[in-house]
Structure formats: structure tokens, C-alpha cells
Amino acid sequence: MKTSRVKVQYAKTHLSALIASVQRGEEVVIARGDTPAARLVAVEPPAERELGFVAYAIPESFSDPLPEGELSAWEVGA
């Protein structure tokens, strides 16, 4: 992997070109003066994930009417 070193002002002016270099596999170190401050590297694509489901069965009683006590608790102003 090739590594380039540039100063902040150059990076600000040539950001698109630097990103293109990084996408081709290069690494860019951005320096303030002679001190490295940041490293520009390509982003790894996210790993493929398999879609999964939780095993769950809806009980037969799901659609049964609620008991009277439960219904009264849901009534507005009761």
C-alpha cells in the first residue's frame, strides 16, 4: 500500500483527488506542519448479514375478547 503525506492546506484544496487516490488503495496522511494529524483511508464495505427471524407463534387466544376488568381499565374517563 502506497502512503502519501500532504499538508492540511493541500488536503483542503485537493480533497476529491485525495479521495480518489484512497479508493485506489492508497493511504494519505494529513499533517499540520511536520506533525501527522490525520490518516485518510478507504472504508471497508459492511459485511453481509443473513436475515433471521425469531421463532414465535401467536397464541390461539390472541383475538379473544378482553375480560371485563381489562376493558374497563382502557376506557377513557373511567
Give me the residue spans of the domains in the chain. 3-40
The closest alpha carbon to 29, from 11, 43, 17, belongs to: 11
Give the pLDDT score at 55: 84
Give the pLDDT score at 7: 95
Give the pLDDT score at 27: 95
Give the pLDDT score at 78: 53
- By DSSP bridging, strand 35-40 and strand 3-7 are unpaired
User: May I ask the CATH architecture of the domain 3-40?
Assistant: 3-Layer(aba) Sandwich (3.40)
- By DSSP bridging, strand 3-7 and strand 27-32 are parallel
Q: Does pLDDT of 77 surpass 80?
A: no
Half-sphere exposure for 26 (CA within 13 Å, toward CB): 15
Report pLDDT digits (tens) over 21-76. Answer: 999 999 999 999 999 999 999 998 888 888 888 888 889 999 999 888 888 888 87
